[in-house]
């Protein structure tokens, strides 16, 4: 399993209120959420993002509320993977549970820049910055997490068991 795409880069403490503002939480339709993803910190994100693109951020990505709408919005926007120095714990759980691949790698988070072409191999945890010719070793997903992601989320995974 792998992901490949162009990078959108953000800083520390990207919170769930900017990932999907609460004024849009009167819906839970993924496409409606995706239409407002990141708009309070990056108005252009929704216009520019293409299927397969990758978000790279620094520490504590996804802090704040427990809204699963945040990873849902990111996934529905077409993002194939989020790489960060660290993730807030509820976001981490939610992302895995809905089948959005995320990976912790401080070195990659530091080095990769906006617009870079990046590839992630989930089996090995290897992150390759194709633009810069650099590679990083992130935390590989344990097998059960890979299965949850392959099943597109925890519920399908439980049903398949």
Partner 1 sequence: MGMTMTQKILAAHAHLASVEAGQLIEADLDLVLGNDITSPVAIKEMEKMKTNGVFDRDKIALVPDHFVPNKDIKSAEHCKCVREFARKHDITNYFEVGEMGIEHALLPEKGLTVAGDVIIGADSHTCTYGALGAFSTGVGSTDMAAGMATGKAWFKVPGAIQITLTGKPSEWVSGKDVILHIIGMIGVDGALYKSLEFTGDGIANLSMDDRFTIANMAIEAGAKNGIFPVDEAAKAYMAEHSSRSYTVYEADADAVYDEKYTIDLSTLKPTVAFPHLPENTHTIDEVGDIAIDQVVIGSCTNGRLEDLKIAAKVLKGRHVAKGMRCIVIPATQKIYMDAMEEGLLKTFIEAGAVVSTPTCGPCLGGYMGILAEGERCVSTTNRNFVGRMGHVSSEIYLASPAVAAASAVAGKITGPEAL
Residues contributing to the site for partner 1 (CB under 8 A): 13, 15, 17-18, 21-23, 25-28, 40-41, 59-60, 63-69, 71-72, 86, 88-90, 93-94, 97-98, 153-156, 158-159
Nearest distance from C-beta of residue 140 to partner 1, angstroms? 16
The Cα–Cα gap between 57 and 114 comes to: 10
Q: Give 9 or 59: the residue with its C-beta nearer to partner 1.
A: 59
Nearest distance from C-beta of residue 36 to partner 1, angstroms? 11
Nearest distance from C-beta of residue 94 to partner 1, angstroms? 4
Rg (CA), the chain: 14
Q: Give 40 or 123: the residue with its C-beta nearer to partner 1.
A: 40
Angle at CA 39, nearest 5°, toward 116 and 63?
A: 80
SS3 for 8? strand
Nearest distance from C-beta of residue 93 to partner 1, angstroms? 6
Among residues 86, 94, 32, the alpha carbon closest in space to that of 58 is found at: 86
Distance between alpha carbon 41 and the CA centroid of its chain, in Å? Answer: 16
């Amino acid at each position: 399993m792998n992901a490949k795409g162009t990078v959108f880069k953000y800083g520390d403490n990207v919170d769930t209120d900017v990932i999907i503002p609460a004024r849009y939480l009167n819906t839970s339709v993924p496409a409606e959420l995706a239409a407002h993803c990141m708009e309070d910190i990056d108005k252009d994100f929704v216009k520019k993002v293409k299927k397969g693109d990758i978000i790279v951020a620094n520490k504590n990505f996804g802090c704040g509320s427990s809204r699963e709408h945040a990873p849902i919005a990111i996934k529905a926007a077409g993002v194939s993977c989020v790489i960060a120095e660290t993730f807030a714990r509820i976001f981490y759980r939610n992302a895995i549970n809905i089948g959005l691949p995320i990976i912790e790698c401080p070195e990659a988070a530091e080095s990769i820049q906006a617009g870079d072409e990046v590839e992630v191999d989930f089996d090995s945890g290897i992150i390759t910055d194709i633009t810069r010719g650099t590679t990083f070793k992130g935390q590989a997903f344990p097998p059960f997490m890979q299965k949850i992601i392959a099943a597109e989320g925890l519920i399908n995974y439980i049903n398949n068991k």
